[in-house]
Amino acid sequence: MNTSPTAALSISGVRKAYGAVKALNGLSFDIRQGEFFGLLGPNGAGKSTLISIIAGLIRADEGSVAVLGHDTVRDWRTARRQLGIVPQELVFDPFFNVVDMLRIQAGYYGAGREVWPWIDEMLERLDLSAKRTAMMRSLSGGMKRRVLIAQALVHKPPVVILDEPTAGVDVDLRRTLWAFMRDLHQKGTTVVLTTHYLEEAQEMCERIAIIDKGVVRVIETTEALLNRHPFRFLTLKLVDGAELPASLRELVTTEKAGAVELKLEREKHPIASVFAALRSAGIGIADVSTRDPDLEDIFIELTGKALSSAQGASK
């Protein structure tokens, strides 16, 4: 484990139990400064508990968290100034309009008028300029989500945590948000993302940790993670809807619309061997395609659960 004091986030031996349920079971890893980091896991894996511990909303039973070297318990004030967190729930204060809410939020962090131009820039970037004097309670869900994102960034934190920022939001906001986060990341901001949309994590994150049952199952660069498992997928459509020979049936992962998908280990099952088996069984191929594993496949491989099934629930 890298315990560099200059890690953007250093999570060390964090445990948290709710009665007999161990939400976090000795979690340890570092997130380097300037990384775009994905924190993935099935529902109940402990992601939200971990984020709440980092934010100071929940106290860990054991272990510690440091933000840019500042312990979140002993040196909480400095640690919190370095952090911007977009909460998962759409929470808002109904008494204020958008721009007042953002100025108030900046003030909590000791930032005054000097950040007002930054607030205007964020309103512009997040397509909120037209709503700057609209009351929070009058905004749609998507607009409230934009304000939450702006609130987390208002004090220009070097470390930003986005907890399911795109759950239930339209394509437009996703595009706007990711363009904005890419810009911030390029300027040196460390971004930590949790999401149910694995294609987002695959596209945006340089490194990914998959946690399950309160422990880290794997932590690797996205590229290494995708290359970690030496398999690929082969989709076949057989002539006249013929049945696969028995030797290939154990490789089938899905079957739909007359097509079958086989999961092939590169060393053990070269594609040529599949074609040879079909040829010797006298079965003709009507159509064929291949694909490399994506993050969803890796996720299933590691956790035994599909994240896409939870995705529907979060929408």
What's the CA gap between 201 and 260, in Å, rounded?
Answer: 27
Three-class SS state of 42 = coil
Segment near another protein (CB under 8 A); pick from 95-103, 200-208, 245-253, 293-301 = 95-103
Dihedrals φ, ψ of 106, to 5°?
-60, -40
The pair of structure tokens assigned to 174 is 């996703």
What's the CA gap between 31 and 1, in Å, rounded?
Answer: 11
- Pick one of 2, 17, 62, 76: the residue that binds another protein (CB under 8 A): 76
Nearer to another protein, 103 or 229 (CB): 103
CB of 191 to another protein, least distance (A): 17
User: Residues 52 to 71: which contact another protein by CB under 8 A?
Assistant: 52, 55-59
User: Residues 101 to 140: which contact another protein by CB under 8 A?
Assistant: 104-112
**94 counts as binding another protein under rule CB under 8 A:** yes
Segment near another protein (CB under 8 A); pick from 7-15, 35-43, 85-93, 172-180 = 85-93
Nearer to another protein, 28 or 97 (CB): 97
What's the CA gap between 202 and 208, in Å, rounded?
Answer: 9
Three-class SS state of 129 = helix
Segment near another protein (CB under 8 A); pick from 48-56, 166-174, 213-221, 251-259 = 48-56
Three-class SS state of 235 = strand
What's the CA gap between 189 and 187, in Å, rounded?
Answer: 6
- Pick one of 13, 22, 61, 92: the residue that binds another protein (CB under 8 A): 92
Nearer to another protein, 91 or 130 (CB): 91
Beta-ladder partners of 221: 207
Nearer to another protein, 190 or 202 (CB): 190
CB of 150 to another protein, least distance (A): 12
What's the CA gap between 77 and 74, in Å, rounded?
Answer: 9
Pairing relationship of beta strands 62-67 and 9-18 according to DSSP bridges: antiparallel
What's the CA gap between 106 and 147, in Å, rounded?
Answer: 13
Segment near another protein (CB under 8 A); pick from 93-101, 179-187, 236-244, 304-312 = 93-101
Nearer to another protein, 135 or 288 (CB): 135
> Rg (Cα) of the chain, in Å, rounded?
23
Give which of 24, 15, 39, 295 is closest to 159, Cα–Cα. Answer: 39
- Pick one of 85, 150, 177, 234: the residue that binds another protein (CB under 8 A): 85
Q: Which residues sit at the interface with another protein, rule CB under 8 A?
A: 52, 55-59, 76-78, 80-81, 83, 85, 87, 89, 91-96, 100, 104-112, 151
